[in-house]
Each structure stands twice: as structure tokens, then as C-alpha cells.
Structure 1
């Protein structure tokens, strides 16, 4: 397994040397809000809705609080589950203002205490904003790909994270999860994976088994 994982890491690094977050952001605040809004919604829709708002009225959590919850609800109506997400974004903004002077905390423990922020969202912030390398982003693409590869046999996100932590070096974990996510978006798709185009098809347990 160790050799297989090493090979996967190497091949992914060659194929996806630089992988960027699909959510557009200019600060940890913008990314944490967009990450909460992106649950069960496309990154494209979140970007389309939020980028203009970040540039105009929502530059910090203070602005969210000042303009109010109802205004936020109106502004994000185009996003799935906007009612619940409005409550989460307003609550997390309030906590950032009251407990962190408007700053986004830099630890998993503190981030996961914020409304709407789970381990996946926290890992997105820690890796993309604070340069943490030992975080694993277990999203739907990641779950699918690692199971198909045969390096994990789990459906539970926490168990997947624990399993990956055991086999992928800590210094590689963030880049590994970003690259696996990119592979899942573009090649190892849910319904019709493009196995012939996949750089990992020689080390994948599921390659060419979907026809």
C-alpha cells in the first residue's frame, strides 16, 4: 500500500502541479462564508452571487452584522437552502466580531465551533488561507476517488480522514486532497469516469470497470 500511495502522490503532483480553490476569495473571511454557502450548491453559483457582494458591501463580518440578517437573506436567495445558510453566516460573523476581533481563527478546534463549519470547511480554510499542510479535505469527490482507488474502504468522512492520515505523509495531505478533488471533478466523475484519460488508471482498483 505504501508504494501505491507514493506512486499516486507522485503522479498527481505531475498532473496537477498547482491546484487552486474553486471558490474565489481575497481573505479568510470571504472563504469561510463562501465555504458555508457552497454546501449542496455549486462553487460557480456561490462565486456568481458573492464576489460582487464582497467587493461592494460585505468586506468583513462587521458588515454582515451592520447590514443585518434580513439583508443577507435577500442577497443570497439564489443559493440553495439560503434560509439556513443565512442563519449560519450571520451567527459565525457575530462570533468572529465578538470573540476574534473580526478575524478568522487558525485552528481546527476554533473553526469547527463556528456555525455551519465542519471539519471539511475548516480544512479548506486552514490549507488555503493559513498554509497548513496536514489537513485533509474530505468532500464528495475525495470520498469517491479514494474508495475507487482502493486505498480506503469507507463511506464515513471521519473514518476516511483517519485512514488517509495513516497512509499519506502529513506534509503532503493538503496538496493530496486538493489534487484528488481535482481528479474527481474532471476525470473520475460519479457516473461516467474517464478511465482512459486518467493518470492513475494503472494503479486504480476500479479502472475500466464502469462500462
Structure 2
């Protein structure tokens, strides 16, 4: 962040809008800027169908998407359908998913949800929120991930990154419970934008606006942020704090990798 004379640009912390209308305007401006920064934002879990996405999302708790992506190929090769996983030996499943952590609890959840799919939904993942949240280990966050990315039904995914940014860093809402945060943010954006909003915010939280050491000096939306300065503001030092996961790579941190198609694959299922 330097001006034409080579000196470092001065960034001032943005003020929090005093009214709801003002916060909505700020929020939508940040959303638009994130769209310029992450036009390729997409779900970072690998999946080929709604069942795989559902299981992978449950497995992603308390671990990284990369670790889940390294684990699921063997799991789905052995148990490709809900019927298969429902009938699995729990000890065998535990060994397959052990690298993701909390493998015993996750095994109970994914076998349990598979049994519920088999018994209550003909082995198919339902495309409605009220049905998804009846499955073991599936809450609104997981349900919205599945609906938005496997069925094309807009949803807001309130994970830890989303909560940190919209509540603590950008001050879009004062709510602290995930369901209330979801409702508050949903009221600030058109429904059709909810899924893309989730992807963009989560991408930013994973790559730049970290929980412990946000890279403020390397943040492309620093001028819009009311929390600018809580992290490292020196551009060179901040650059070293950037993190890269799938789709992130040194030297091209704001652009998709060579050959990336530019957008996530279209929804796999139909609308609910």
C-alpha cells in the first residue's frame, strides 16, 4: 500500500454507521469490494453430489477443509451412498476419518445421518431446511452449506469466520447467537446474494482477516473496515501473515490459479 511517491499510504479506520440504513450501505459496499477481490469464491470442500457435501461438511468441524478433502476420497470410495454408510462398521469409519479429529463423534454423526436418510428420505439428501436439520449432527450452518451449494437454494453460512467478520470486525450486527446473526445479516441483503456473500466473507476470513493476527496492511478493503489497525498495518509484515488454502497461492493471492474456471460448479440438485 504505497502512493506514487513511494511512501506508505495512510489508512484511516472507517466509522461504524450510526443507523441501520447506514450499516446496510456499508455492508453492501464491503460485499461488492469482496466480489472484486474474490470473484472465484466457492465452497472449498470437494464433493460430487449432495450426500458427499453433507458428510464432508459435518466432518469439517474443528479441522480444515484441506484435511477433509484428503480424507473423504477413501471414505466415499468405500461408502458411496447413504445406505452404504448407514450399514458401516463404526470402527472402520473411525479409522478412515481419524485425521480430521473428533473422529468418534463425527463417525456417530455421519453414520446416524446416513441411517436417517435411508429410513426417512429414501437414501436421498432432502432439499429443504426443515428436513435437513432433523438429521443427526446437522444444524442450520451445515444445512445452509448444502442448500446453497448442492441445491441452489440461497442460504447464509454462519461459521466462526463469518461471525468474527460481520460481528466483531465490521459491526454489521451486535447479535452473538449464530441463528440471530444469520437473521440479522439476511435482512441486509437480497436473498439471491446470501450464498455468494457467505463464500466471500469466509474466503476473506481464512486468507486475510484472521482471528489472532489479521493482516490489515495487506487488506484490500482496509479503508472500509471499522476495525482497521487491530492487526499488523505494515504492508510488508502483513503480507507474511496471509494464509493460503485451496485456491490461494503466493504471488497471486487475489486471483484464481491458472486454469481455474472462475466460478464454482453449478448446483447439483434442483430448487426446494
TM-score range, shorter chain: over 0.9
**Rg: which structure is higher?**
2
Aligned ranges for residues 15-34 of structure 1 at < 5 Å? 15-34=37-56
**1:89 Cα deviation after fit:** 0.8
Residue 101 of structure 2 is matched in structure 1 by 80
In the aligned structure 2, how far is the partner of 1:84 from the partner of 1:209?
A: 36
Deviating above 3 A after TM superposition, structure 1's stretches of 4 or more consecutive aligned residues are: none
User: Unaligned stretches of 5+ in structure 2?
Assistant: 1-22, 233-272
In the aligned structure 1, how far is the partner of 2:98 from the partner of 2:74?
A: 14
**1:80 Cα deviation after fit:** 1.2
Task: Check whether the contact 1:62–1:93 (CA below 8 A) recurs between aligned residues.
Answer: yes
| TM-score, structure 1 as length reference | 0.93
Give the 3 Å change call, closer, same or farther, for CA 197–87 of structure 1 in structure 2: same
Q: Does 1:47 align with 2:97?
A: no
Residue 151 of structure 1 is matched in structure 2 by 172
In the aligned structure 1, how far is the partner of 2:29 from the partner of 2:85?
A: 46
In the aligned structure 2, how far is the partner of 1:170 from the partner of 1:67?
A: 39
Q: What are the superposed Cα offsets for residues 35-87 of structure 1, whole Å, 9 maximum, x if unpaired?
A: 11111122122111112322x21211111133333322232222211111111
Residue 209 of structure 1 is matched in structure 2 by 230
Q: Does 1:60 align with 2:81?
A: yes
In the aligned structure 1, how far is the partner of 2:107 from the partner of 2:230?
A: 42
Residue 176 of structure 1 is matched in structure 2 by 197
- Greater share of residues in helix: 1
User: Unaligned stretches of 5+ in structure 1?
Assistant: none
Task: Check whether the contact 1:24–1:51 (CA below 8 A) recurs between aligned residues.
Answer: no
* RMSD across aligned positions (CA): 1.4
